[in-house]
Amino acid sequence: MYSALKLFILLVGFTALFYLSGVATLRDERRPTLSLGLAAGLLTAIICAMLTTNINAALLAQTSIAMFGIYRLYTSRQGNRTNPALQPNPSSWPQMTVFMVLIFIFSCILISDPIADWDARSIWFYHAKVIYYTKDIWAHGQWAEQANIYTHLNYPKLFPLLAAQVANAFGFWNEYIPKLAIALLACPILAFFVESALKTQRNHRAIPVNFLLLFMMLFMFDGAGFYLTSGYMDGWVALYSICASMMLTTAIQQHNSDDGRNSRIQALVFLAILSQIKQEGLIIAVILLAVAIAVTLGTLAQPMQSIKRISSGTTPKTLRSAAWYSLFLLGPVVAWLIASHIQGLSLSHYSGNTLERITTKLTTSGQPTWILANVIFHNGMIFPSLALALVLTVNAAATRKRLMTADFLPLIASLVFLVVIFLVYLATNADVNWHMAKSAGRVGLTPGLLIVCYNYHCIINILFADRSIKPQSSISQA
């Protein structure tokens, strides 16, 4: 009973700490959504750990920042009361209640089994154990001496940091308690899906369909039961990817509104977390951002004039805000890349003459086709989702439902990422058949779910959205 109570208190405490510190660090958001605040709080946690070089001092520093978050929430509420022009914020208690129930149930499922699977034990929780015993995310500058290089020491340390801090809060390390860090990593995702599912829409018939589609995206993907609870990070890379793509889509479609600005900030925070989970996360974050920029320029009638207008309207305040967000979002990524280079944490599977290996595999009869087939078919979600995407796109054209250019963002990003995966297997210096058998299904989760995300946009648009106008922002239909 005491352990269960301690578990609940720790879960609530960490969740509140992340949200409040996230509120404090978001420069333009005095009262962010629960998912945005929690996501920003995760970034604040790793920044504090990097700056203080001690996980206990990092929690104290984050607590101090959270105090300022309480102040910002208080002044935001007072401003809403005194300024009649501001609309009162809708009650967040329904979302908060559903979120806390889901996260508590998920936490109980997590700690019902010990850490057992190979990558979880030898990579993520091993790194967490090093941080737990050294009390330092940098491991006193001796990562390479404390572990074998084949544990992928160059991987980012956000999740190992969370696991080490959870174990430290309990006062001991075992095979159960550190898994609670998975729940902390899941907090922004669960909050985001709860907010999306319960969001009031003009057409109330869309709410149950929206809820069902979001639920399927969250829990029904290939291997979800394993990849969400085992300690592997691939499932969380995939889920953060679709959350970021959904926010980027909204930001592009509503770029001139407050919702568009808020979505843009939330998308950038999710992309920053992606880069802190796993190296594949950094790759897909760059792809999503590049595709979003390309799509945005494609939706502008006169892109150069729009860019000049934005540049001419830049003020010192917006420059300060941009500088702060650049430091907040990119600082941890750059810091860890520099530390990995200094400590010599090399990429074990891609050392040597990469171009020569790619050329050799491309010129070997049947090997490129074999690799491509594994990339597309090894994960059971990719090919059916691609087939459904084709059907939905044709259906949208046949029924004269306009798909806006931004709706294609997750589909384009998924196809680009599939090309990157293909090149990675061409470049590996490991046995390619072994490498694909061990990882193709896991890596395929991200492009598979991005295609599912595109299908989600299509279904919602076909069934409920009115896209009869705004031809400059849409894909022309035959």
* pLDDT of 345 above 70: yes
- For 29-44, the pLDDT digits (tens) are 778 999 999 999 999 9
With cut-offs at 50, 70 and 90, classify the pLDDT of residue 343: confident
Percent of residues, the chain, with pLDDT higher than 70: 87
CB atoms within 10 A of CB 6: 14
* pLDDT of 449 above 60: yes
- Give the residue-averaged pLDDT of 121-144: 91
- Give the residue-averaged pLDDT of 201-220: 77
CA distance 339 to 328: 18
Least confident of 232-236, 308-312, 420-424: 308-312
**Which residues are CB-neighbours of 219 under 8 A, at least 6 positions away?**
228
Q: In this predicted model, which residue has the larger pLDDT, 331 or 74?
A: 331
- What tokens appear for 160 in the block? 């190992």
With cut-offs at 50, 70 and 90, classify the pLDDT of residue 78: low
With cut-offs at 50, 70 and 90, classify the pLDDT of residue 468: very low
Least confident of 20-29, 278-287, 341-350: 341-350
Task: Give, in order, the Cα–Cα distances in Å from 233 to each of 53, 106, 140.
Answer: 24, 16, 25
* pLDDT of 233 above 70: yes
pLDDT for the residue 88: 47
* pLDDT of 372 above 90: yes
Catalogue the long-range contacts made by 105-112 (C-beta closer than 8 Å, 24 or more residues apart).
106/183, 106/186, 106/190, 107/7, 107/11, 107/180, 107/183, 109/229, 110/179, 110/180, 110/182, 110/183, 110/229, 111/7, 111/176, 111/177, 111/179, 111/180
Q: Tell me which range, 135-144, 287-296, 397-406, is most confidently predicted by mean pLDDT.
A: 287-296
pLDDT for the residue 388: 95
- Give the residue-averaged pLDDT of 197-215: 74
| CB-facing half-sphere around the CA of 158: CA atoms within 13 A | 28
**Which residues are CB-neighbours of 53 under 8 A, at least 6 positions away?**
136, 137, 138
* pLDDT of 467 above 60: no
- What tokens appear for 73 in the block? 């929430």
Mean pLDDT, all residues of the chain? 85
The position carrying tokens 């950094």 is: 282
pLDDT for the residue 218: 85
pLDDT for the residue 472: 39
H/E segment holding residue 6: helix 2-25
H/E segment holding residue 386: helix 382-398
What's the first-to-final CA gap in the chain, in angstroms? 65
Percent of residues, the chain, with pLDDT higher than 90: 50
* pLDDT of 115 above 60: yes
